[in-house]
Amino acid sequence: YFRRWSQEQPRGVLGAPRSVRVPAGVGSGRVPARADVSGVSAGLAEGGETAGRKRFADWKRAGLATYDSGHDDLAGDVTSRLSPHLHFGTLSPTELVARARRSGGSGAEAFVRQLCWRDFHHQVLAARPGAASADYRTKHDRWRSAESAGEEIEAWKAGRTGYPVVDAAMRQLRHEGWMHNRGRLLTASFLTKTLYVDWRVGARYFLELLVDGDIANNQLNWQWMAGTGTDSRPNRVLNPVTQGRRYDPQGGYVRRWVPELSALAGAAVHEPWKLPKAERARYDYPDPLVELAEGRDRFLRARDKD
């Protein structure tokens, strides 16, 4: 039917136009070559099914075996980076499950478990479309809004909160249009539970920048971390210092994204405020925006009122 229909169309209807007239005031130019586009990291640069399958095949050889033990390691960064392909549909999750299982092993099973999260969030959203913008399980939080917490939200977005692992992850997002899953978890916890800002503020910002930005996965992961979603432990608060020490034990991830601290060796990079005063003054890096205990108490007090 499609072939007959396309043959019946006047020539040129289905072909790409030779040129496009742009409205007045809009500049025109050449489409940049991929090499000229900075900031797009390995594995995210090429679209389409062929590129997606190649990415998966390369990663299966190099990363699948260590995925189980290594997928939370921020500096090692062994995750597949297939999320843009899965979001745009240039790879099929069921094909990935079948191909991973053919390789077998604990890495393959861990990878399949992560794909299940994707499926889960899509099913939850299909059943409850309102959860894209409203609390899935509301506690009537009195979140701080974009107006009342403006400066703190800007510091969070800019990667200047004074908590190195939070800042590293936020800068990775700005630079690459992508962020490691562990970074997404701890930056979302920091915004919602330490700063007590409405999860929708963070979800909107992620959707603006993420190359894999996806309503189901983004909104429902944000809700999971904010405690308004499907997490069975809605009051969990991720401590950025503990998270940094656990998932970036040598500090390599922080040094990669927060160059102001690159001279600090090892795990000391996670707590620059502990340095002797004179040494601390040498680093052009902000003090913590808020004390962790203070943020945590504010969140728990607000919860207890309900």
Ligand X SMILES: Cc1cc2nc3c(=O)[nH]c(=O)nc-3n(C[C@H](O)[C@H](O)[C@H](O)COP(=O)(O)OP(=O)(O)OC[C@H]3O[C@@H](n4cnc5c(N)ncnc54)[C@H](O)[C@@H]3O)c2cc1C
DSSP structure class, residue 194: I
In this complex, which beta carbon is closest to ligand X, that of residue 161 or of residue 272? 161
Which one, of 30, 55, 22, 23, lies nearest residue 41 by Cα? 55
54's tokens:
């190649």
Cα 126 to Cα 128: distance, rounded to the nearest angstrom? 6
Evaluate the CA torsion angle 245, 246, 249, 255 in order and state its sign: negative
Q: Which of 60, 121, 160, 200 binds ligand X (CB under 6 A)?
A: 121
Q: Which of 200, 214, 257, 299 binds ligand X (CB under 6 A)?
A: 214
Q: Which of 87, 157, 160, 270 binds ligand X (CB under 6 A)?
A: 87
Which string of x and - marks every residue 217-246 that binds ligand X (by CB under 6 A)?
xx--xx--x---------------------
Which one, of 177, 197, 194, 170, lies nearest residue 253 by Cα? 170
Q: Tell me the one-letter amino acid at 49.
A: E
Stretch that binds ligand X, among 133-141, 213-221, 259-267, 271-279 (CB under 6 A): 213-221
Cα 261 to Cα 136: distance, rounded to the nearest angstrom? 39
In this complex, which beta carbon is closest to ligand X, that of residue 190 or of residue 272? 190
Binding of ligand X by 176 (CB under 6 A): no
200's tokens:
């929708």
In this complex, which beta carbon is closest to ligand X, that of residue 196 or of residue 264? 196
In this complex, which beta carbon is closest to ligand X, that of residue 180 or of residue 272? 180
Q: Which of 185, 261, 264, 290 binds ligand X (CB under 6 A)?
A: 185
Contact 82, 96 (CB under 8 A): yes
Q: Which of 44, 100, 166, 188 binds ligand X (CB under 6 A)?
A: 188
Binding of ligand X by 55 (CB under 6 A): no
Total of chain residues touching ligand X, rule CB under 6 A: 27
Binding of ligand X by 165 (CB under 6 A): no
In this complex, which beta carbon is closest to ligand X, that of residue 41 or of residue 181? 181
In this complex, which beta carbon is closest to ligand X, that of residue 200 or of residue 270? 200
Cα 167 to Cα 161: distance, rounded to the nearest angstrom? 6
* Least distance (Å) between residue 10 CB and ligand X: 40
Cα 91 to Cα 31: distance, rounded to the nearest angstrom? 25
Binding of ligand X by 172 (CB under 6 A): no
Binding of ligand X by 157 (CB under 6 A): no
Cα 132 to Cα 124: distance, rounded to the nearest angstrom? 10
- C-alpha of 95 from chain center: 24
Torsion of CA 147, 153, 157, 160, to 10 degrees: 140
- Classified as helix, coil or strand, 33 is coil
Binding of ligand X by 269 (CB under 6 A): no
Q: Which of 92, 114, 230, 239 binds ligand X (CB under 6 A)?
A: 114
In this structure, the chain runs to a length of: 306
Binding of ligand X by 162 (CB under 6 A): no
**Site residues, ligand X (CB under 6 A):** 71, 79-83, 86-87, 114-115, 117-118, 121, 181, 184-185, 188, 206, 210, 212-214, 217-218, 221-222, 225
